[in-house]
Chain A
């Protein structure tokens, strides 16, 4: 069990550019979640996958955001036409069925 990994750890981009983050869950975990955390706040749910199926999306996930989990393994979160308000820590978590979620170290996005 190597834990949840996320890449890159930090990303600085200019407004209007597209960015993509990757999450590798714990290998036997079939559920994968994306959250966003801003300074002084707790993580906020973005989206959830069970295996390769995206079963739920938060209203926070605007049309500029898209997530995939091909073959039920790693997941990617893409943000198109980034805005300064997208600056945040993006956290990925995984779980086995309904058990507790284990979080990765996060990707810190700064939009300039």
Chain B
């Protein structure tokens, strides 16, 4: 079974400082990894994904994520945080194979990011 852990319920960062939201995963085989952001009373918005290739993935709104296979991690990063980045961030994993259980995304519990002006 696949799983995702987001060890921090909340991350606080000052505006303009770099931010990191942590994610570790467990899945058989090479994972498909995703980050989504959720604003209050809204659905999840896709930020970026890792399927294969370069370990550093760039996504929307200046976010990037680094895939580390040995540490089974996929941390979300941004060089300079904005107040508007304050939201709930979810990491998700999908199994790479086809067939039963492979279609669903398994999400972490989410990390609330607060960017302080």
Instruction: Report which A residues bind B (CB closer than 8 A).
Output: 4, 6, 31, 33, 35, 40-45, 48, 50, 55-56, 58, 91, 93, 98, 100-106
B109 within 8 Å of A by Cβ? yes
Interface residues of B in 50-105 (CB under 8 A from A): 90, 92, 100-101, 103-105
Q: Are A48 and B109 in contact (CB under 8 A)?
A: no
Instruction: Report which B residues bind A (CB closer than 8 A).
Output: 4, 32, 34, 36, 41-46, 49, 90, 92, 100-101, 103-110
Given contacts A42-B92, A56-B100, A56-B101, contact A101 B46 (CB under 8 A): yes
Measured between C-beta atoms, what is the minimum distance from B76 to chain A in Å? 14
Q: Which residue on B lies nearest to A104, using beta carbons?
A: B43
Given contacts A100-B49, A103-B36, contact A43 B109 (CB under 8 A): no
Interchain CA distance A112-B12 in the complex, whole Å: 36
Closest 6 CB pairs of A and B: A42-B107, A45-B104, A103-B43, A103-B44, A105-B43, A48-B103
Give chain B residues whose Cβ lies under 8 Å from the Cβ of A40. 109-110
Q: Are B104 and A42 in contact (CB under 8 A)?
A: no
Q: Are B103 and A4 in contact (CB under 8 A)?
A: no
Q: Are A106 and B43 in contact (CB under 8 A)?
A: yes
Q: Are A41 and B104 in contact (CB under 8 A)?
A: no
Give chain B residues whose Cβ lies under 8 Å from the Cβ of A98. 32
Measured between C-beta atoms, what is the minimum distance from B51 to chain A in Å? 9
Give the residue among A56, A58, A101, A105 with the most B Cβ atoms within 10 A. Answer: A101
Interchain CA distance A35-B103 in the complex, whole Å: 12
Selected from B34, B41, B101, B103, the residue in CB contact (under 8 A) with A31 is B103
Interchain CA distance A93-B101 in the complex, whole Å: 16
Give chain A residues whose Cβ lies under 8 Å from the Cβ of B41. 105
Give the residue among B4, B32, B45, B107 with the most A Cβ atoms within 10 A. Answer: B107
Interchain CA distance A1-B101 in the complex, whole Å: 28
Q: Are A55 and B90 in contact (CB under 8 A)?
A: no
Q: Are B43 and A42 in contact (CB under 8 A)?
A: no
Measured between C-beta atoms, what is the minimum distance from B73 to chain A in Å? 17
